[in-house]
Each structure stands twice: as C-alpha cells, then as structure tokens.
A and B are shown apart, each in its own frame.
Chain A
Amino acid sequence: MSGASATAEPPVREAPPSAEPGKWRQYAIAAAFLAPAAFFLGVWIIYPMIKTIIRSFYGRDGSDFVGIDNYRTLFSSDTLVRAIENNAIWVIVVPAAVTALGLLYAVLTERIRWAVAFKTVVFMPMAVSAFAAGVTWRIMYQQEPDRGAINAGIGAVKGVFSPTGVLSEAAPSSDALEQQPSGALTLAQPLQAGDVALLGLTRIRSEEVPEIAQQAVEPESKPGEITGVVWRDFKPGGGTPGKVEQEELGLPGVTVELRDSNGEAVETAKTADDGSFTFRDVSQGDYTVGIGASTFAQPFGGVSWLGSKLITPSIIISYIWIWAGFAMVVIAAGLAAISRETLEAARTDGATEWQVFWRVTVPQLWPVLTVVFITLLINVLKVFDIVLAVAPQSVQDDANVIALAMWRTSFGGVSDFGLGSAIAVFLFLLVLPILAIQIRRFRREQGA
C-alpha cells in the first residue's frame, strides 16, 4: 500500500533534501511530530540498553572492570544455571502446549452455538495480571486437602478407591502380635476353630478412639468359630499387656482378616462397638488372625504442588491456563479465514475429516500457528510475575527463571548490578533471533 502512494508522488521527491526549501519545512514538521517519541525511546530504551551492555562488564558497584567474569558466573552459579535450565523447560513445553491447546479449542468450538460463552471464559485470564492469576493458583495449590481445591479433588477421587482407615497409628501391646511388611498386624500363634483371638493395641491417640467405643469384653470360646476382640490395651496407670481389663475400651470398625495356612484371606469381619468379632463356620486347620492394613490406611495428605520438586510444573500449568485463550482466539480467527472451497474439494475427493484437518486445515493455518508459537516463545523467555506469585519464598531457587534471577540479583536483596546486567543481556540475546524473524515478516508485508 505504501508502494501505491509512492507512485502518486511527483518524482521530485527523490531529489536531495537541500534542493528545495519547502522540503526542509516538511522535515522540520516531521521531526516535531517524532520528537516526543524519540525522547522517550532514546532515554528509556536505547540509552539504558547500551548502558546495560557496558555495565555487564563491570563489578558489583561499577568501579572495577571485570571483563567477562559476570558471564562466567552466570553459567557457573548453581541458582543461575538452575534458572536457565528451568527456562529451557518453559521454552520446550509451553509454546507447543499452548498452541496445541488453542488449536484444539478453536476447532472444537468452530461449529458450536454457544462458542462465544466458552471463548469468553477461556480468554478471561488474559485480561488479568499474571501476578493476580498466580495468587489465585497459589490458593488452588495449597497442600492440605481441606484448603487446596486441587488436592481436595484428588483426595475425593482417591477416597473412593482406598478409604481412610479408622486408626492412623497403633502398635501391638505385646509380642503376640507381629507387624507385617504390608502394615497389617497378625497374631504370631496360628489359631484353630474354637480359639479366642486377643488383639491388643497401644499407642493410639485418644481422640482417635470413637465415641461409640464400649468397655472391651474378652469373648467366650465357641466351637466351630473363632472369636476375638480388638481393644485399646491401655488404661491410666498401666495395666497388664495382653489382658482385657476394666476401663479398657474396644475398638469399633476395625477390619479383621482370617487367613488360611497358605496366607489366602478366607474371611474378613468388622469389630462391634465393644471391639468383638466372630468368624463363623471355621473348618479344620490352622489360621492366622490379624488386623488388615486398610485399618491403618493414612488419609490423603495432599500432593506438594508448591514443594521444590513440582513447583515448576505447577507454575507452568497456571501459565497455560492464562495463555490458552489467546491462542484459541487468534487461531479461531485464522480458522474462519480458511477458504471453504479447499475443504469441500478435499471432501469431495474422498478425504476423511482427519485427513482434511491435517492435510488441508493445518497447512493453511501454519502462519497463524507460527505467530502464536513465537508470541509465546518471547513471553515465556521473559516470564516473571507468575513465578514470583506462585512460588513460596523457600522454593524460589527451585522455580527460578532468567527474568526472576535478574530481578533477584539486582533488586531483590543482592544488589549486584554487574551480574544483573549480564543476566539482562543474556535474556536480550535469547530474544534477538526472534527479532530477526519479526523484521523479516514486516518487510515481506511491506512488499520490500
């Protein structure tokens, strides 16, 4: 379009500026229009850029020239190397994941009537600051399943398959009971029909004894049955281990297993309020009786999303949550611009929808996908706020990224402007190749 305006101009335009006094006036006007922008760009971007590059070769307080020492530190200090590694993970995972997700969402919503509502919801996080979004996710990621929604969700699903046991902690009161590797407690002595099993436990926290628990009673022996009791073999002042005594409570709801001599579980029973249980119709042979491991199953304690191991994946998930909407909207706009004829032609030629998608749609979308990918690449290299918001102070070394390292080194307590400048320059060098791509695209647009 600039080409069209150029041809309309008289050829005098090409003459050297001094040829015409009117031209000078024009240049002066242009300069006046450009002056404010030049001032801002010069003082706040170009001058600091040069200054930062120079500063990166000086030490902490700027008086001593240190050559490339700062850059050496950048690639040898543990926290900084960690930051670079983490940023590499970001670069590998995020642009690809977000572009793929955006493509998926754009395609799924293409012919849905309420697509606008869906797109609005997914796009919403884009308007919000990465910092506020990070705080939001930090609340979601709290470890206690009572507070962190994500762990609450996982806990609910887990609870269906492996419910929490009635006792979190207990130990045998005497040598009669043995701890098995599985966590179960079994009687060392094999039993036969007519025997009585006494399963005494200690070291149970008193708040874990249910209120319905009643005085434990030693059951009577019955022919053809194995009876028994599970009780808290402890009373104030001690008592005799292995004996059911006054003031000792039975433990209700405990799962007792009856295993045959091969170790196969034959039957299970739940104890009554006084801790008693009965296995009826027990045939000949030796049996072991024990308390099942499920009785001591620990409650779900929550995944440590904000711990040092998972912190980077956790932050990445919240970042994808923010950017998926951007990718979706841009790709959807590209999708709407695809020529319907090519799709129809492919279909008439007998291509399946899958083939149409990969062979016709995606190639036509390629420029748009590239734009989304590059935009994310630039932003991921500079990621900062969300890391600071999601990662607790204690794991910031594990969550570190280049931009955060730059800030922490320069302003967050260390105040090493030399090293900070070197990190900034390193970051700049990483984005520089993207600049080349952007300029090439711009010049192609201009038809140059």
Chain B
Amino acid sequence: MTAATAEAEAARPPVVEERTATKVLRWLGKAPIHILLVFLGLLWLVPTIGLFLTSLFAPEDVNNIGWWKIFTKPSLATFQNYQDIYHNESIRSAIVTTIIISICGTALPILVASLAGYAFAWLEFPGRDWIFLGVIALLVVPLQMALIPIFSLYSKVGIFDTKLSLILFHTAFGLPFAIFLLRNFFIGIPKELLEAARIDGASELRIFVRLILPLGLPAIASLAIFQFLWTWNDLIVALSLARDTQPITVAIFSQLRQFGANLELIAPAAFVSLAIPLAVFFAFQRYFVQGLLAGSVK
C-alpha cells in the first residue's frame, strides 16, 4: 500500500503533494485536541442549557421529567413560566430593585473613584503614595468585617432596608479596586496634555471633566462592567442589610427552602438573573477581559 501511495505521489507535482500531506498529517495530529476541546466545551455549556430547559417545563412536568427529554415526541417546552414570573409581583419588584441598585451602585463608585483616581495620579499632596497604598490595602478587607457595624449603623440612622443603604455599601466596597484601576490608567495620560491645559488657566475640575474623563473612558468602561456585575450578582449584602428590599438573588434564595416544590419558579427566575449579566458580558466582552487583565496581571 505504501508503495502504491509513493507511486501516486511521484506521478504528481511533488511540492503540492507534500503540502497537502503535511496539512492532513497536522490536522490528524491535532484531531484528539479538537475532540477533547469540543467535549470540554459541551461540559461547560450543559449546566446553563439544563437550567434554561428546566425553566421551560410546565409545573406538572418539571419534577418528573429530566430536562434532556423536553423535546421528546410532542415538545413539552412552554414559556408559560416566564409569563407567570412576569406577573409575579415579588419577582417583578425584585428585578426592578436589582436594576436600580446595580445602576446606581455602578455610577456612584465610578464618579467617586475617578475623582480620587485623578487626585492620586496628578495632584500634589503630602503622603500621596502612602495613602494610595492604604487604599490598595483596603482591597483585601472582607466585607464580612463591615456587615455587623453597618447593620447597627443603618438601624440607628433609619435607612435600614432601603435601596439607598445597599447602594452606599456597594459603592464603598467597590472603591478600592476602582481607585486602583483608574489611578493606574490616568497616570498613563500624557503629562503634556495636562500641563498645556494648566498653562491655559483651566481649573482642575475643568481638566478632570474635559480631559481626564473622556480619555479615561476605556478604563471606566471595563470598571463599569465589573461593578455592575458585582452589584447585580450580590447576595450577602442584601441578605444581611435588608429584609423587604429584595434583589433577585435574595428573592430566589427565599424560594430555595422549598427546592423541588417550586422549580417552575426558581428555574426561570435564576435564568433571568443570569441572562442579564450574560448579555452584558457578550456585549462588552473586550472591556471585560481588559479590565480583568488590568486588575490582576500587572
């Protein structure tokens, strides 16, 4: 057989033959890797698909049939559950609460952090680098260290169980990372631009609004995505510092005690709570990865 192939090879122009041969060989050599990666990729997809398909079962089927059998003979899939949770008052208000907390909990820390980031990057004051070091040190403080005193403080001030109280907490704990990221980005802005503006007599506030913010947009974008996801996905803060102000994670959590009896509610609610971060991730994937690398690899 090899002899026959060799003869066939000799008959054709050798250069082309070699190229295709090596191509085929290389492809064959890589085939196991491709197969392995396809398998692993599916493994990573299955849980999310499973959650989605589970959410499509009618209440009477969800506990009796595995989600992988949903498309048997007559398809059992229905969007009824989504309609139901849309009309479910507590889930709907939970989603609205989550949206409000996430948007305000993203905008506020970014504003505060960019002011501070500018000061750390371009303003002169004594002990600047030491203070900045202190801010970075706060990065590792677990939020568990704050829950109990803040709980008491909120009760005393009278803002316990409000959206505002959650937003303020998220703002504070988002700040160390935000200041770190923005300061490092702002410091890369060319010095000449700032000095030209200062010589022209622009105030620091004007420089900040007109120069720093627009130039810092890429960093602000990746930061916004992180902060948004962080507040959207929060469970522990809302669970500890609020009772009736329930974001979606807490709403699902309160249903979890009867897991199995109410899967037709839990599954679609969990999928909704997961769909929005996924949409954000897919829309801004580039910024997401950039922010990730800026935050960790330095």
Contacts and interface: CB of A to CB of B under 8 A. Distances in A.
Contacts of A384: 235-236
A135 B142 contact: no
Interface in B150-177: 150-151, 153, 168-169, 171-173, 175-176
B233 A128 contact: yes
Interface stretch (B12-20, B76-84, B214-222, B265-273): B265-273
A135 B115 contact: no
B8 interface: no
Given A149-B67, A427-B142, A129 B235 contact: yes
Interface string B179-218: 1000000011001000000000000100010000000000
A117 to B, nearest CB: 8
Nearest to B260: A142
Interface in A38-79: 40-41, 43-49, 51-52, 55
Interface string A140-157: 101001111100100000
A26 B145 CA distance: 35
Given A330-B296, A427-B144, A13 B267 contact: no
Given A108-B37, A122-B44, A424 B142 contact: yes
A5 B204 contact: no
Interface stretch (A80-88, A89-97, A217-225, A429-437): A429-437
A1 interface: yes
B234 to A, nearest CB: 8
B41 interface: yes
B47 A41 contact: no
B47 A136 contact: yes
Contacts of A44: 146, 150, 168-169, 171-173
Interface string B95-136: 000000000000001011101101100011110010001011
A121 B37 CA distance: 11
User: Residue among B125, B169, B277 with the most chain A CB within 10 A?
Assistant: B125
A33 B136 contact: no
B278 interface: yes
A428 B259 CA distance: 33
Given A136-B270, A152-B68, A407-B239, A425 B145 contact: yes
A279 B208 CA distance: 96
Contact of B51 (A13, A118, A139, A438): A139
Interface stretch (A188-196, A342-350, A367-375): A367-375
A439 B51 contact: no
B146 A146 contact: no
Interface size class of A (residues with CB under 8 A): 35 or more
Contacts of B169: 44
A424 B149 CA distance: 12
B236 A136 contact: no
Contacts of B288: 127
B257 interface: yes
A210 B130 CA distance: 81
Nearest to B123: A30
Interface in B273-298: 273-274, 277-278, 280-281, 285, 288-289, 292-293, 296-298
B227 interface: no
B145 A442 contact: no
B23 interface: no
Contacts of A145: 66
B48 interface: yes
B146 A439 contact: no
Contacts of B141: 45, 49, 428, 431
Interface of B: 30, 33-34, 36-37, 40-41, 44-48, 50-51, 54, 63-68, 109, 111-113, 115-116, 118-119, 123-126, 129, 133, 135-142, 144-151, 153, 168-169, 171-173, 175-176, 179, 187-188, 191, 204, 208, 229, 232-236, 239-240, 249, 252-253, 256-257, 259-260, 263, 266-267, 270, 273-274, 277-278, 280-281, 285, 288-289, 292-293, 296-298
Interface of A: 1-2, 5, 8, 13, 17, 23, 26-27, 29-31, 33-34, 36-37, 40-41, 43-49, 51-52, 55, 105, 108-109, 112, 117-118, 120-122, 124-133, 135-140, 142, 145-149, 152, 318, 321, 324-326, 329-330, 333-334, 368, 371-372, 375, 378, 381-382, 384-385, 388-389, 392-393, 403, 406-407, 410-411, 417, 420-421, 423-425, 427-428, 431-432, 434-435, 438-439, 441-443, 445-446, 448
9 contacts: A31-B125, A33-B115, A34-B115, A122-B44, A146-B65, A152-B66, A375-B296, A406-B144, A424-B142
A-B pairs with lowest CB-CB distance, top 10: A129-B233, A44-B172, A127-B281, A37-B116, A48-B146, A48-B149, A33-B119, A51-B149, A30-B125, A30-B123
